[in-house]
Chains A and B, each alone.
Chain A
Amino acid sequence: MSGIDVDLAVNGLITGVFYALMAIGLSLIFGILKIVNFAHGEFYMVGAYAYTLIALALGVPVWIALPLAFVVGALLGWLTERTLMRPLYAGYTSWGLMRDEYAVIVTFGLSLFLINFVDKVIGPYAYRGPPLVETSRVVLGPVLISGHRLLAAGIAIAVIAVTAALIKWSFWGQQIRAVSQNRLGASLAGIDTAKASVIVFMLSGGLAAFAGALLSPVINASPDVGIFPAIKSYIIVVLGGMGSVPGAIIASLFLGVIESFGAVYISFQYRDAFGLILLMLFLLFRPQGLFGEKGREV
């Protein structure tokens, strides 16, 4: 393996970690609510702006601005669930009764609203978030990486691990998994499915916003910055298996590395196409993804 290959592998894995942080929230929402949130990228965008403006305009230290961005994303998730999503399934215990195509329209509308709202209120200009560390270059053998990118990747891994642990072992995590498996059954067992939905939307919004904040020194905040994480997240959720958190993590790393090597050894022009080609192959030969279930409740 040459020096550049090591460089590509490391950078690909780091990119994959960021993809995972973006995609887990989307995967969770699909797992619980069985809908695709088309405004997911805009939660990322709001987090990037929240972190940057809190730190730059208010002068708040970056280590406080970072969790505050998570809180802003979580609050936006709560607001979205209570005002836009709840009316879609209120009173229904089975997803078969719910008109989930409305959710597509509602979240798509929310996405357009948020992009244009930020464009008009904050302005069209891009903002670069302040880095967590000022070290611009860290040398690790053949790999040269910015200090912020390295630290951000470490934080992203920690956040992903904590999220996975919470879902697996915490009280609310177990309830979320129960609702994910069978909403009616969970409801009959006394689980508050509406509350589970709120928690998932808040967690999803918070994680996407946190990813936006963490990456804002690398990918400058702008009104349309959410389009990129949204598209990557949709691909990852399908590759990993819809609703599967471990699947989303593995698919993210896989996609990051494939894109990194493909961009150099095939063409940078087709970098974003590699994910779409993988998506088509999976839909043809393994539509349930890496860890997904073969069928859906009807």
Chain B
Amino acid sequence: MAGLLRRDMLGVALTVAAIMLPVAGAQAADPIKVGVTITQSPPGSVVQGTQVKDGLEVAAKIINDAGGVDGRKIELVIEDTQGLPEKARAAVEKLATRDKVVAITGEHQSSAALAGIEVAHRYKIPYINTNGWSDVIREKGYPEVFNPGNYNSRVGAAAAATMKELGVKRVVSIAENTDYGIGLAKAIGEALKKIAPDVQYKYETLDRASKDFLPAILPMRANAPDAIINLMLPPAAYIMMNQLYEQGVAPSAKTWLYDGSGLADYPDFWQNVKEAGKGMLVFGLYHPKMAQPALGKQVGEAYTAKTKNEPNRLLFQAADSLFLIADAIKRAKSTDSGALIKALGETKYTGTRGEITFSKDKGYAFNQWLDVPYVTFQLTEVNQKVGDSALVSQAGQPLDPAKLWKPAK
């Protein structure tokens, strides 16, 4: 009887094992789901959302073509936030609870990121902030949130250094009324106070949904500043630039126009601004003449082959976001949230833009890659490609105003 029972038990065990083996095999080959929140429809920046999506897809293909992560493919689960905080919050909630993604990335608008990280923090799920520049995202101090992208304090310091080197006395920032715009306008003011306290600085906040900025520009025509810093995103930024140019305010012999929003590598930039963009100085997170690791070149070539477009900054930021998640899974040998967060915190990974590590200092530096590379370049001709523009300076290098192009009086 006992022998019979043992035989039965052995039979059951073998049957279960026979059933489970293929299941275990299937689990091993199950894709790793990564949640993506981007803007795919207005009113948010669909242009940015498209560039981020392309970057993530290029990175996913590179990872999957190389055999995936420990044999498992990466699968992107994409949610449209429309750039709206409430939609971003709902999207992260869905990705975390229904889709059971292992990490979330892709967000490129600060207001949406600020909403999304609250949910990610509640569920303790890793959140890689691709392009939310607002320092407040870092200042929250959430251990789940990692920032391999640019940040307002970095642009603030770069813009202030450029203003100092230009030798200007009065500077006006035109910022959109978002967490990103207002935060960056304040960051520039703080940086100017430190390195160029004699510069008179103020900022105007404009509604990004507005279509006519003339009433804000007319007083500037009467009393033009030495430099105007654009902190608005398209399409509002294009309208504002055209109106600045039509009113003869900037770029002009008297007033520099400096872009702190990365407008120049948008594919629709020149079609929308024409002469209004000639002479603009640009804070750039990507320039073809920048030194770049091999992975950056691979991603850039894959993107151009896929879209026929020139590479752009968001492409690399998005690709790095996914590469970092894949790297953390490999090192953690797990997709468990806690293990992933720990592995991400210990990151030392050479991505598309350089070696990425995350600072543990408090404030804007928390979980931030501090050495995000940047350059300053000037657009000296209408329809000029970023690669053909004049590379004025790289991070930390001085700028020589005598070498810059300026419109005649």
User: Which of chain A's residues have a CB closer than 8 A to the CB of B206?
Assistant: 268-269
Tell me, in angstroms, the Cα distance from A145 to B212 when the chains sit together. Answer: 13
Query: Known contacts A3-B222, A137-B246, A263-B216: does B41 contact A116 (CB below 8 Å)?
Result: yes
Return A114 CB to nearest CB of chain B, in Å.
Answer: 12
User: Which of chain B's residues have a CB closer than 8 A to the CB of A11?
Assistant: 214-215, 218
Interface string of A261-273 (1 = CB under 8 A from B): 0011000110110
Q: Which of B137-145, B271-279, B369-377 contacts A (4 or more CB under 8 A)?
A: B271-279
Whether B209 is near chain A, meaning CB under 8 Å from some CB there, is: yes
Q: Please pick, from A116, A124, A259, A264, the residue contacting B219 in the complex, using a CB distance under 8 A.
A: A264
Tell me, in angstroms, the Cα distance from A126 to B239 when the chains sit together. Answer: 10
Tell me, in angstroms, the Cα distance from A22 to B274 when the chains sit together. Answer: 27
Q: Is the CB of B272 within 8 A of A127?
A: yes
Return A254 CB to nearest CB of chain B, in Å.
Answer: 16
User: Which of chain A's residues have a CB closer than 8 A to the CB of B213?
Assistant: 268
Tell me, in angstroms, the Cα distance from A220 to B205 when the chains sit together. Answer: 20
Interface centre among A125, A223, A228, A269 (most CB of B within 10 A): A125
User: Which of chain B's residues have a CB closer than 8 A to the CB of A3?
Assistant: 222
Query: Known contacts A128-B274, A144-B221: does B42 contact A271 (CB below 8 Å)?
Result: no
User: Which of chain B's residues have a CB closer than 8 A to the CB of A145?
Assistant: 246
Interface string of A1-31 (1 = CB under 8 A from B): 0011001100100010000000000000000
User: Which of chain A's residues have a CB closer than 8 A to the CB of B245?
Assistant: 136
Q: Is the CB of A264 within 8 A of B207?
A: no
User: Which of chain B's residues have a CB closer than 8 A to the CB of A220?
Assistant: 235, 238-239, 272
Whether B234 is near chain A, meaning CB under 8 Å from some CB there, is: yes
User: Which of chain B's residues have a CB closer than 8 A to the CB of A116?
Assistant: 41
Q: Is the CB of B216 within 8 A of A126?
A: no
Whether A115 is near chain B, meaning CB under 8 Å from some CB there, is: yes
Q: Is the CB of B210 within 8 A of A271?
A: yes
Q: Which of B43-51, B126-134, B287-295, B333-341 contacts A (4 or more CB under 8 A)?
A: B43-51
Return B185 CB to nearest CB of chain A, in Å.
Answer: 13
Tell me, in angstroms, the Cα distance from A176 to B43 when the chains sit together. Answer: 37
Q: Is the CB of B219 within 8 A of A222?
A: no
Tell me, in angstroms, the Cα distance from A8 to B43 when the chains sit together. Answer: 29
Could you tell me which residues of chain A, from 203 to 235, have a CB within 8 Å of some CB in chain B? 218-220, 222-225, 227-228
Tell me, in angstroms, the Cα distance from A145 to B217 when the chains sit together. Answer: 12
Query: Known contacts A15-B212, A125-B47, A219-B211: does B219 contact A269 (CB below 8 Å)?
Result: no
Q: Is the CB of A4 within 8 A of B222?
A: yes
Tell me, in angstroms, the Cα distance from A228 to B211 when the chains sit together. Answer: 7
List the A residue with the shortest CB-CB distance to B235.
A126
Q: Please pick, from A115, A124, A259, the residue contacting B47 in the complex, using a CB distance under 8 A.
A: A124
Interface string of A101-132 (1 = CB under 8 A from B): 00000000000000110010000111110000
Q: Is the CB of A119 within 8 A of B212?
A: no
Tell me, in angstroms, the Cα distance from A260 to B213 when the chains sit together. Answer: 10
Q: Is the CB of A7 within 8 A of B42?
A: no
Whether B400 is near chain A, meaning CB under 8 Å from some CB there, is: no
Whether B247 is near chain A, meaning CB under 8 Å from some CB there, is: yes
User: Which of chain A's residues have a CB closer than 8 A to the CB of B209?
Assistant: 227-228, 272
Q: Please pick, from A15, A149, A223, A272, the residue contacting B42 in the complex, using a CB distance under 8 A.
A: A223
Interface centre among A115, A124, A260, A269 (most CB of B within 10 A): A124
Whether B242 is near chain A, meaning CB under 8 Å from some CB there, is: yes
Tell me, in angstroms, the Cα distance from A115 to B82 when the chains sit together. Answer: 13
User: Which of chain A's residues have a CB closer than 8 A to the CB of B49?
Assistant: 124
Tell me, in angstroms, the Cα distance from A295 to B170 when the chains sit together. Answer: 57
Q: Is the CB of B268 within 8 A of A127?
A: yes
User: Which of chain B's residues have a CB closer than 8 A to the CB of A128?
Assistant: 238, 242, 271-274
Whether B68 is near chain A, meaning CB under 8 Å from some CB there, is: no
Return A261 CB to nearest CB of chain B, in Å.
Answer: 8
Q: Is the CB of B215 within 8 A of A126?
A: no
Tell me, in angstroms, the Cα distance from A260 to B219 when the chains sit together. Answer: 12
Whether B354 is near chain A, meaning CB under 8 Å from some CB there, is: no
Return A112 CB to nearest CB of chain B, in Å.
Answer: 9
Q: Is the CB of B221 within 8 A of A115?
A: no
Whether B30 is near chain A, meaning CB under 8 Å from some CB there, is: no
Q: Is the CB of B239 within 8 A of A264?
A: no
Query: Known contacts A11-B215, A264-B215: does B42 contact A222 (CB below 8 Å)?
Result: yes
User: Which of chain A's residues have a CB closer than 8 A to the CB of B212?
Assistant: 15, 218-219
Tell me, in angstroms, the Cα distance from A224 to B210 when the chains sit together. Answer: 11
Q: Is the CB of B215 within 8 A of A124?
A: no
Chain A interface residues toward B at CB < 8 A: 3-4, 7-8, 11, 15, 115-116, 119, 124-128, 136-137, 144-146, 149, 218-220, 222-225, 227-228, 259-260, 263-264, 268-269, 271-272
Apart from A144-B247, A223-B46, list 4 A-B contacts with CB within 8 A. A126-B271, A126-B272, A128-B273, A136-B275
